[in-house]
Structure 1
């Protein structure tokens, strides 16, 4: 998931601080390295599945066993959660560390989740660590936003580590939320 962590950090810290960027804006990564507007990832990041169809079940494909491609799926999931938080709380300068805005809150949840997850985490472990981070930081105020983001990319409540079948199921309290 390392490649995904680095992608989401760069997107939050640099690219997504633009008020003209929306959840459906295609966001390629490292266009300068690729020498192409498409960047170095298979799909640009976007919550629009017509632009970026990455889901948990992609990990069953041999090409997604490679760290860069696996990380791209993870970052796509985090991108969904990011936008759920930004849609609810807005976006502000992250250097102000105002956890009342979605982008700064997401960054803090990721950092806290990294500390809470076990060594060599699975996608499920990392998802659960971010949920726990939200519980610790906000009393669980964003559980449904987080669950819906992950479930939208197949990492719902029934997702199993190493069994790459999409689960779009969220806890009952998050259905329709």
Structure 2
């Protein structure tokens, strides 16, 4: 999806796939359409609505693709897919259009590292220089994080919040009506379930990260988004989810340029102060 700055009309191009007879129209696979719309979201939120050039290449460009896969997976997930949590249910991208059960990525998305072994170091492998390959690694990280949040908070059958938030509902966590922050402003509404909270954190983080973010920048923005939304209630869980896949506190990259490259090293540590006394 070609996304110019906010206020200018974007253009989504969809294609007919020649992988089956008769040919298959990509418009008929919801995951592909959601993925493309997500480009508009991530492009305009990262770096501000007037700057549409923040996700063009390298890790930043890859994450643009990864957010598309992650949001497509989160929005298509239904309650029956709770088996994602133990890795027995898997999600492919583009499986129908490509006429291929495994879809168009190297691995299906799964919390099981035997099924999907992607880690930060994976980006150094041959074939992972392109934005789509980089993106599926980032999407796997977000997938693991979202399912860990589902483990903690449960699953919402709808992603749509109630139109009248003043009436009792179970979409948001219950907070005292008079709850205010230190500046006297009402506290933000916090989604009560893991899948809706994950989606909210991912979107909020896009607004916080810098132009041309690295994996580290985007990870830290999600942690910051959680701190701003929940007071850091999930900091340990989020750190552990990223550390599962090598993007822990001690992960690093040597010799990276703004265009990519460098040698990456997985890190599996989490900040001791963050998880001190935590049951997560």
What displacement does 1:17 show? 2.0
Runs of 4 or more consecutive aligned structure 1 residues displaced over 3 Å after TM superposition:
none
Which of the residues 250, 263, 266 maps onto 1:166? Answer: 266
| Unmatched segments (≥5 aa) in structure 2 | 1-62, 162-170, 173-190, 257-262
How far off is 1:116 after superposition? Answer: 0.3
Task: State whether structure 2 residue 75 is matched by structure 1 residue 13.
Answer: yes
What are the within-5 Å matches in structure 2 for residues 108-127 of structure 1?
A: 108-127=200-219
Indicate the structure with greater helix content: 1
The alignment partner of 1:40 has SS state of coil
Per-residue displacement from partner, 1:88-147 (whole Å, max 9, x unpaired)? 001101113640101110011001100000000000000000000000000000001100
Q: Which runs of 5+ in 1 are unaligned?
A: none
Residue in 1 that maps onto 2:65:
3
8 Å CA contact retained: 1:3, 1:71: yes
Matched pairs, number: 176
Q: Which structure's CA Rg is the greater one?
A: 2
Tell me the TM-score normalized by structure 2.
0.60
Q: Compute the TM-score of the two structures, normalised by the length of structure 1.
A: 0.94
Aligned counterpart in structure 1 of residue 244 of structure 2, from 148, 152, 163: 152
- 2:224 aligned residue (119, 129, 132): 132
